Amino acid sequence: MHGAGNDYAYVDCFEERMEHPEAFAILASDRHKGIGADGLVLIMSSRSCDFRMRMFNADGSEAQMCGNAARCVGKYLYDTGRTRKTTLSLETKAGVKKLRLFPVDGKVQRVRVDMGEPVLRALDVPVTSDEELVISQVVDFRPGSFALTCVSMGNPHAVIFTEGVDGINLPDIGSRIEHHGMFPERVNVEFAEVLSPSRVKARVWERGSGETQACGTGACAVLVAGVLNQLLEREAVISLPGGELEVKWDEEDNRVYLTGNAVTVFKGEIEW
């Protein structure tokens, strides 16, 4: 399944027993010898919520949260009849997320995810800095210096506003920023080009997966960073290579809401 081109292999753990998911994530994600994906998502039961999601990056590392994956989980659960609810609670490593499903003719096409409140305190992102908040802080990555704004949406992000995002050598600079010593848990990187106060174009480098077509938490981080830098309104469309995501940072409850598509690509079996 994919959300805005951010694709994962999903395993229904109500039907399948998944051992060693870290190793399976590496196999499944291989675009030449496996299924081909940005990572692996396990759909599971939960003791505290309606359902639970675990996700693994393409390198086998477990991640806290992905907004695009969460939307696809909601679609799968509704489309397969595991739930008839259109409002779900989903347990993730980044906490409980609320999903609002929008079915059409019995199939979910769009989902809104309550992504929670953004985390801005440097210590909690986490990012090593002398400042309490990292907002447009210039860092030398040798070669090249960039102004970073750091936000956690359940996982850490470094957002860089620039012009000409299409020309960025993302595999080079994205990898260097991801592994920089100022990020103790590594970091996701977004290069964003503001087109208007309500629209921004972005590219994403996901830790453990590389460049992806989209990133839900990354889109949210871009909006929050844009507001903090007085570049964006509190509601905007984030245009990514795989599609568009609608993001709102609500001023009243301080929560970020992500809305976008969820698409089933194919179902099948793989030997493991």
Q: What is the DSSP letter of 116?
A: E
SS3 at position 97: strand
pLDDT tens digit string along 140-160?
A: 988 889 999 999 999 999 999
Considering the candidates 72, 150, 215, 220, report the single residue annotated as catalytic. Answer: 215
Nearest-angstrom CA–CA distance, 30 and 26:
6
Is the bond into 241 cis (omega within 30 degrees of 0)?
A: no
Q: What are phi and psi of 197, to 5 degrees?
A: -60, -15
C-alpha gyration radius of the chain? 18
Below-50 pLDDT ranges, the chain:
none
What the chain holds in terms of domains, given with CATH numbers, is 2-114 (3.10.310.10), 122-258 (3.10.310.10)
Which run of H or of E encompasses 147?
strand 145-152
Question: Tokens representing 255?
Answer: 């929560």
Evaluated on CA atoms 104, 76, 271, 212, the torsion sign reads: positive
The token pair that represents 148 in the structure block = 């970073």
Query: What integer pLDDT is reported at residue 271 of this predicted model?
Result: 86
pLDDT at 144: 85
Burial class (CB in 10 A: 0-12, 13-18, 19+), 84: exposed
- Cis ω for the linkage preceding 126 (within 30 of 0): yes
Work out the angle at residue 107's Cα, subtended by the Cα atoms of residues 101 and 111, and round it to the nearest 5 degrees: 25
pLDDT, position 28: 97
At 65 the pLDDT is 94
pLDDT at res. 272? 84
pLDDT exceeding 70 applies to what percent of the chain?
100
Which structure tokens are listed for 248? 């709102």
Q: What is the structure's pLDDT at 142?
A: 82
**Catalytic annotation on 215?**
yes
d(CA 70, CA 58): 17
The catalytic residue among 66, 72, 150, 220 is: 66
What is the reported pLDDT for 233? Answer: 98
Q: For the chain, what is the mean pLDDT?
A: 97
Structure tokens at 259: 């809305």
DSSP, res 117: P
Would the pTM count as exceeding 0.85? yes
Is residue 150 among the annotated active site residues? Answer: no
Q: Give the N- to C-terminal CA distance of the chain in Å, as an integer.
A: 20
